[in-house]
C-alpha cells in the first residue's frame, strides 16, 4: 500500500483543562499586572518603573505557565490512498460467444484493460487497487491476470453472497468504487415470492460505495436453445401417468420446428413437435411406466447450427417407480366355489385393488327387455380391454369363454391381442384358471392368448379329467417362489403332500420349451397343473383346475387353517407382478446422487430359494457409464454369512452409472440385479445464457454509480471516482514545556532581582 510520512506539532495545556478555570487564570493575570502597575507608579524614574513592571510581568507569566502546564505533542502520520476494487466474473458463462461475433464475453474484458491501459495506470497511481475474481465466492487475482486471463471455472454466480463477502472484507476501509465486469447471470434460484433484485439493491446500498458496471453489449447475446428447467416427480406409481413440465429458453433462433424427446436408453417413450421461437416456451410430456424400479430417462432437443451451448440440450432424469396398490382384473365365466374362495382372498388383502366381473348373461342370451331395464349390466368389454387395460397389474381369466363376445359388433379376439401386448410389451401379468369353459374348451387355441400361455392348446385332443387326486410338486416346484409355502424345504414338501385332493383338471397338450412346470396332476400322462413362463416383459401362469378352493375349505372344516391356500395365492400374485422382494439378488445404495469424488457405499444382498441369506455366493460386479457403456469399476466379491457383500466406489466424472451384479454359486446363476446412481456437478451457468443487464444496471443505479457497455474505449473521459485525502496516526510524543529546573531558577532569580531593586529604591 503506497503512503507518505508526515510530522505534525500541537500545543496542549494539561494543568488546567477546564475552560472556565483557564478564563479565571487569564483574568487573574490581568488583575495582577494592573495592581502591580499601581504599586510601582510612585517610584521616581520611569526607567525604574518599567523595569519593575517587566520583572513582575515575567514572573506572573511564569507562574501562569506553571499553572497551565503546557506541552508540545509531536505526531507522526501517514497519508493513505483510497481503495478501488476491480471485480471480474470468472463463471463459465463468461466463456460464451456472442451471436455470430465469435468473441467471448471474457475477451471483451481483456480488450477493455488493453484499450484503457492509461486509465488503469492512472487508477493504480491515485488509488490502492484490488483485483478480485468472483462467482459465488471471491478470490484475489493480479492485474496481469486481468490482462492475460485465468481459469473461468465458476459453476454458479451469486451476487447476494458476493456483496456480503465484500462488506465483510472491506469493513472499516475507505473504498471509493467497485468496478464490476460481468454478464449479470445470477444463477441462484429463489422462491417465487422473493425479489432477487430487491435483495441485491439493499445490499448495494449498505456498502455506501458506487458500483461501476461493465457488461456485454446487445450483439453479444448467445445463440442457444436450452432446456432451462424440468418440473417432475422423482417418485411415481406404476401404471399411473408420469408427467414432466419442460421449460425451454430460446435465444437467437426463430421459426424452427423441432422435436422434444423423452427416452429410456435408446427407446423413445414420449415425443412432441414444438414450434420454436425467441423467448421462453413450455411443453408437457407424459408416459405411463409399467414396471417398478429406478429408471433413467433422457430429455433432449436437437442441437442447432452455431449454437453456443450444447450441454443444455439434454437433461437426465432419475425416477423411482413403485406400486401404490396391486390392481387386478378378475373375469369369471360363471359363479363357482373356486371363484368365491379366490375372490375372498383377493378382497381381504388391503394392498389389492380388485375389479371383478361374473358373466351371468351374454350377448346371445334372449331378453325381451331393454338393457337399461335389466339389473344385470352388459360386460364392458371395450372399456376394460382398450381404455383401462394398461392401468392393471394382473388379469385373471377364470373358467371364462370369450366366444359369445366374438361377434361382428364385439370382436373379442381383437381384445385378446390387446391382452397379449399388455403382457409382452407392458410387463403385465396374466393368469388362466381351468374349468369346463377354459383353455381349449373356452376356444383359446390358435388365439393370441395361446401364444403367451406356458402350455400348448389343442381343441381336438384336450380333455377334462374328473378324477380326484393330490397335486405332485416337480423338482422346479420345490425351489420356485410360487410354490414355496414354507421356507424349510422338508416342511414345504410335507405341506404339499398334506394338501387336500382336487377334483380333476384340464388336460392340455404339452408345455412350451421356456415354460417351467411347478406341479402336475398324477393321472395318465401327468399333465401340468401349475406352470409358469416369462413372456416378453411380462409373466404368465396356467392353473388347469377349478378346485383349488378345496385347499381353503377342507382344512378349516377339519379344524385346521387355510393359511397355505392364502400363502399360495400371495406367492402367485407376487411372482406374476414381478414383486422386487422375490428377486434373490438386491442392490442397495446409500445415496442415489453424489458429488464428484464423493464415496458411494454399495451393499449386495443374496437370498437363497428359501429367502434366507446365502453365504459364499460369487458376485461379478460391473459399474459402467449409462451412455458410453465404459466401465469405471469391475470387481468380484463373495457374500458373507449374512448373505451380504459391501464395497465403496469413487469417481470424478459427471454422469449416471449403472451398477450391475450377477450372482453365481457352483457355476449356476442365482440371479442378477442393477441399480443406478448419478455423479452430479450441476453447472447452472449454461441453463440460461442470457445477459442479465437488469441486475448490473440496478446495481449501478442504487449505488450512485454508472453502467457501461463493452467494448468501451477512452473510459477516463466518462468515469470519475472521488479521491478525498485520508491520513492515519502512526505515533506521537509529549514534550513538557514547564517541568524542568530552569523555569524555577529563572522565576526565583526574577523575584529576587525585583525584591533587590525595590529595597534599593526604598519600597517595601
Q: How far apart are alpha carbons 402 and 384 in whole angstroms?
A: 14
> What value does the mean pLDDT of the chain take?
85
Mean pLDDT of the 38-59 span: 73
Cα–Cα–Cα angle for 661, 663, 667, rounded to 5 degrees: 140
Mean pLDDT of the 84-89 span: 94
**pLDDT exceeding 90 applies to what percent of the chain?**
40
Q: How far apart are alpha carbons 607 and 451 in whole angstroms?
A: 33
Cell of 330: 378378475
- List strands edge to edge, sheet with 242-251: 224-232, 242-251, 279-287
Q: pLDDT tier at 737 (50, 70, 90 boundaries)?
A: low
pLDDT in tens, 565-619: 999 999 999 999 988 878 889 999 998 888 888 999 999 999 876 567 889 999 9
Q: How far apart are alpha carbons 358 and 335 in whole angstroms?
A: 7
Q: How far apart are alpha carbons 450 and 542 in whole angstroms?
A: 11
In the predicted model, is pLDDT for residue 756 greater than 80?
no
Cell of 12: 496542549
Per the CB < 8 A criterion, the answer to whether 225 and 307 are in contact is yes
pLDDT in tens, 357-387: 876 555 554 444 444 443 344 557 778 888 8
**What is the pLDDT, as a whole number, of residue 729?**
62
Angle between helices 337-348 and 549-557 (to 10 degrees): 80
pLDDT in tens, 512-557: 998 999 999 988 888 999 999 999 989 999 999 999 999 999 999 8
Mean pLDDT of the 736-747 span: 72
Q: How far apart are alpha carbons 149 and 152 in whole angstroms?
A: 9
Q: pLDDT tier at 43 (50, 70, 90 boundaries)?
A: low
Global pTM? 0.60
In the predicted model, is pLDDT for residue 761 greater than 70?
no
Q: pLDDT tier at 4 (50, 70, 90 boundaries)?
A: low
- List strands edge to edge, sheet with 600-606: 585-589, 600-606, 644-649
**What is the pLDDT, as a whole number, of residue 368?**
44
**What is the pLDDT, as a whole number, of residue 377?**
45
Pairing of strands 138-141, 224-232: unpaired
Q: How far apart are alpha carbons 672 and 584 in whole angstroms?
A: 8
H-helix segments, 521-577: 549-557, 563-576
Q: Which residue has the cell 532581582?
A: 753
Q: Which domains does the chain have, with CATH numbers?
A: 3-79+730-760 (no CATH), 83-218+690-723 (3.40.50.410), 224-322 (2.60.40.150), 326-576 (3.40.50.880), 582-679 (2.60.40.1930)
Q: Which of 402, 182, 316 is nearest to 626 (CA)?
A: 316
Mean pLDDT of the 141-156 span: 79
Q: pLDDT tier at 74 (50, 70, 90 boundaries)?
A: confident
Instruction: Tell me if residue 618 falls in helix, strand or coil.
Output: strand
**What is the pLDDT, as a whole number, of residue 635?**
93
Mean pLDDT of the 229-247 span: 87
Burial track 333-366 (b if 16+ CB lie within 10 A, e otherwise): beebebbebbbebbeebeebbbebbbbeeeeeee
Per the CB < 8 A criterion, the answer to whether 515 and 405 are in contact is no
In the predicted model, is pLDDT for residue 12 greater than 80?
no
In terms of pLDDT, which residue wins out, 365 or 320?
A: 320
Pairing of strands 585-589, 600-606: antiparallel
Q: Which of 247, 251, 248 is nearest to 222 (CA)?
A: 251
Amino acid at each position: 500500500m503506497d503512503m507518505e510520512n508526515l510530522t505534525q506539532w500541537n500545543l496542549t495545556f494539561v494543568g488546567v483543562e477546564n475552560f472556565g478555570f483557564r478564563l479565571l487564570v487569564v483574568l487573574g493575570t490581568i488583575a495582577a499586572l494592573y495592581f502591580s502597575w499601581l504599586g510601582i507608579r510612585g517610584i521616581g524614574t520611569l526607567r525604574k518603573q518599567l523595569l519593575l513592571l517587566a520583572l513582575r510581568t515575567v514572573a506572573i507569566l511564569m507562574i501562569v505557565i506553571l499553572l497551565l502546564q503546557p506541552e508540545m505533542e509531536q505526531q507522526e502520520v501517514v497519508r493513505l490512498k483510497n481503495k478501488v476494487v476491480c471485480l471480474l466474473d470468472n463463471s463459465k458463462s463468461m466463456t460464451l460467444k456472442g451471436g455470430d461475433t465469435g468473441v467471448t464475453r471474457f475477451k471483451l474484458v481483456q480488450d477493455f484493460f488493453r484499450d484503457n491501459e492509461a486509465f488503469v495506470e492512472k487508477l493504480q497511481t491515485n488509488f490502492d487497487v484490488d483485483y478480485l475474481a468472483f462467482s459465488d465466492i471471491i478470490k484475489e487475482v493480479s492485474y496481469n491476470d486481468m490482462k492475460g486471463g485465468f481459469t473461468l471455472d465458476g459453476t454458479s454466480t451469486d451476487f447476494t453472497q458476493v456483496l456480503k463477502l465484500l462488506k465483510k472484507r472491506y469493513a472499516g476501509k475507505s473504498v471509493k468504487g467497485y468496478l464490476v465486469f460481468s454478464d449479470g447471470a445470477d444463477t441462484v434460484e429463489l422462491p417465487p415470492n422473493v425479489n432477487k433484485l430487491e435483495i441485491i439493491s439493499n445490499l448495494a446500498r449498505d456498502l455506501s460505495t458506487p458500483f461501476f458496471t461493465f457488461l456485454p453489449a446487445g450483439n453479444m447475446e448467445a445463440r442457444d436453445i436450452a432446456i432451462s428447467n424440468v418440473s417432475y416427480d422423482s417418485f411415481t406409481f406404476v401404471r399411473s401417468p408420469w408427467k414432466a413440465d419442460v421449460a425451454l429458453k430460446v435465444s437467437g433462433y426463430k421459426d424452427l420446428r423441432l422435436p422434444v424427446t423423452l427416452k429410456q436408453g435408446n427407446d423413445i417413450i414420449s415425443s412432441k413437435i414444438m414450434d420454436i421461437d425467441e423467448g421462453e416456451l413450455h411443453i408437457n410430456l407424459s408416459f405411463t411406466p409399467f414396471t417398478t424400479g429406478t429408471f433413467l430417462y433422457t430429455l433432449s432437443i436437437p442441437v442447432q447450427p452455431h449454437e453456443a451451448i450444447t450441454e443444455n440440450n439434454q437433461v437426465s432424469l432419475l425416477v423411482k417407480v413403485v406400486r401404490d396398490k396391486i390392481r387386478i382384473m378378475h373375469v369369471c365365466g360363471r359363479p363357482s366355489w373356486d371363484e368365491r374362495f379366490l375372490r375372498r382372498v383377493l378382497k381381504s388383502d388391503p394392498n389389492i385393488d380388485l375389479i371383478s366381473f361374473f358373466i351371468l348373461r351374454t350377448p346371445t342370451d334372449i331378453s325381451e327387455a331393454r338393457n337399461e331395464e335389466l339389473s344385470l349390466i352388459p360386460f364392458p368389454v371395450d372399456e376394460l380391454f382398450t381404455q383401462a387395460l394398461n392401468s392393471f397389474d394382473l388379469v385373471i381369466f377364470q373358467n371364462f369363454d370369450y366366444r359369445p363376445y366374438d361377434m361382428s359388433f364385439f370382436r373379442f379376439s381383437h381384445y385378446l391381442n390387446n391382452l397379449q401386448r399388455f403382457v409382452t410389451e407392458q410387463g403385465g401379468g396374466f393368469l388362466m384358471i381351468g374349468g369346463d369353459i377354459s383353455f381349449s374348451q373356452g376356444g383359446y387355441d390358435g388365439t393370441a392368448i395361446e401364444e403367451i400361455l406356458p402350455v400348448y392348446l389343442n381343441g381336438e385332443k384336450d380333455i377334462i379329467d374328473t378324477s380326484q387326486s393330490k397335486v405332485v410338486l416337480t423338482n422346479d416346484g420345490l425351489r420356485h417362489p410360487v410354490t414355496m409355502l414354507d421356507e424349510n424345504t422338508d416342511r414345504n414338501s410335507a405341506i404339499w403332500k398334506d394338501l387336500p385332493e382336487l377334483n380333476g383338471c384340464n388336460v392340455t397338450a404339452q408345455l412350451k420349451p421356456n415354460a417351467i412346470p411347478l406341479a402336475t396332476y398324477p393321472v395318465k400322462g401327468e399333465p401340468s397343473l401349475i406352470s409358469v413362463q416369462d413372456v416378453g416383459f411380462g409373466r404368465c401362469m396356467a392353473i388347469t383346475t377349478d378346485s383349488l378352493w378345496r385347499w381353503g375349505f377342507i382344512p378349516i372344516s377339519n379344524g385346521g387353517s387355510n393359511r397355505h391356500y392364502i400363502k399360495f395365492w400371495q406367492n402367485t400374485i407376487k411372482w406374476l407382478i414381478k414383486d422386487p422382494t422375490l428377486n434373490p439378488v438386491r442392490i442397495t445404495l446409500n445415496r442415489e446422487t453424489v458429488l464428484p469424488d464423493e464415496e458411494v457405499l454399495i451393499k449386495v444382498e443374496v437370498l437363497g430359494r428359501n429367502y434366507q441369506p446365502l453365504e459364499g455366493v460369487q458376485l461379478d460386479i460391473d459399474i459402467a457409464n449409462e451412455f458410453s457403456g465404459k466401465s469405471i469399476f469391475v470387481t468380484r466379491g463373495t457374500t458373507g454369512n449374512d448373505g451380504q457383500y459391501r464395497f465403496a466406489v469413487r469417481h470424478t466424472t459427471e454422469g449416471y452409472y449403472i451398477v450391475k451384479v450377477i450372482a453365481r454359486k457352483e457355476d449356476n446363476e442365482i440371479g442378477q440385479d442393477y441399480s443406478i446412481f448419478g455423479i452430479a456437478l450441476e453447472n447452472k451457468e449454461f441453463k440460461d445464457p442470457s445477459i442479465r443487464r437488469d441486475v448490473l444496471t440496478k446495481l449501478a443505479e442504487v449505488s450512485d454509480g454508472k453502467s457501461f457497455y463493452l467494448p468501451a474505449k477512452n473510459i477516463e473521459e466518462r468515469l470519475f471516482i472521488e479521491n478525498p485525502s485520508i491520513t492515519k496516526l502512526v505515533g506521537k510524543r509529549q514534550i513538557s514545556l514547564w517541568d524542568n529546573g530552569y523555569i524555577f531558577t529563572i522565576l526565583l532569580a526574577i523575584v529576587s532581582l525585583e525584591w533587590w531593586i525595590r529595597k534599593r529604591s526604598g519600597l517595601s
